[in-house]
Amino acid sequence: MFPLIGIFGTSIYIYFYGVVWYEPILLLVFWFISGMGITMGYHRLFSHKSYQTNTFLEWVLMIFGSLALENTVLKWSSDHRKHHSFSETEDDPYSIVKGFWHAHIGWVLKNTTEEKSRIVGVKDLEKKSAIIFQNKYYYHIAIIGGVLIPLLIGLMYGRPLGAVLWGSFLRITLVHHATFLINSLCHYKGKRTYDSSSTSRDSWFISLFTFGEGYHNYHHKFPSDFRNGISWFAFDPSKWIISILSFFRITSHLRKTKDHLIFKSKFETLHTTLIEKLNNSNEMYQNLYKDKVSVLSNSANDILLSWQKIDINVNSISSYIDKKHLKEYRSEIKKIFKDLHNISRKLNKRGLVTNTI
């Protein structure tokens, strides 16, 4: 119903009454607020506890998240924690194994009344005041914040229907499908840099309209990291806002995966893929590259082992020598990755006997 009114209702309204600049702005502002409520609040704070904050921000994020109409924090987190713990099995509510449509929206449409009320594994959240309040007044918050406020804004500039269509119906449709794309497309297309055994993928493109949630392969590998896009240029506004708030001590205990573990998972994924490729190459290429891959892999393992020894707590490392070593390890491992990637590219071009990879 929402998408029908959101897309067709708004289109018909535009056809007859045009657009005033308030309306797309209203959509963007409410999209940002409700989207951040889901990513910063429902997902990274409540479901994964990837950082801590004060009760006030918990309330703000609970209210913002409610405006997205994606159910209560408890139900959302219960489903999401199952998605991580039981990925690609029967117990994964939005398992991609059951097909793209099921992972995208089918699981919502097929939900039985019994399933809708099934909430497990979220005892740690139940005592939070924001969540107790939301459980009592979820629809009140969603309707007042998500529909009545846009309506009041619309009344102020004389186009209440336009405001509700843009700020509520179309906006909720977009927020829903952006979230759903993470469950479907981010388990279907994209790179698997950190874990090749998972169906989850990294997609910078989906991050652009999901506040940074598109780096899903990384997120499945390290779900308690407060970042999803780890490089400085990765579009992850949720990460940026959480970091900025930590300067003002509004957020704290930001959980970050240690660098050597990130490089380790990257290396293991690259190595597994390369070995598979080598096994599928002709004998000449196997002879040419097998020893080289083995030497590079041994060096990578040695570096990662030494890195692990000094990376116990990067933040407290003050010694000049340790910092110098970290810098060296980082540049050496990057060089090895470059060489391994080059071999991988050469095998792609000429060496593969079969096209199975």
Contacts with Zn ion by CB under 5 A lie at 200
Nearer to Zn ion, 200 or 297 (CB): 200
Nearer to Zn ion, 53 or 200 (CB): 200
Nearer to Zn ion, 66 or 200 (CB): 200
Nearer to Zn ion, 58 or 225 (CB): 225
Give the nearest distance from C-beta 78 to Zn ion in angstroms: 13
Give the nearest distance from C-beta 277 to Zn ion in angstroms: 26
Give the nearest distance from C-beta 200 to Zn ion in angstroms: 5
Give the nearest distance from C-beta 83 to Zn ion in angstroms: 6
Compute the distance between CA of residue 186 and CA of residue 206 in angstroms, rounded to an integer. 8
Give the nearest distance from C-beta 311 to Zn ion in angstroms: 25
Nearer to Zn ion, 215 or 267 (CB): 215
Nearer to Zn ion, 216 or 325 (CB): 216
Give the nearest distance from C-beta 186 to Zn ion in angstroms: 6
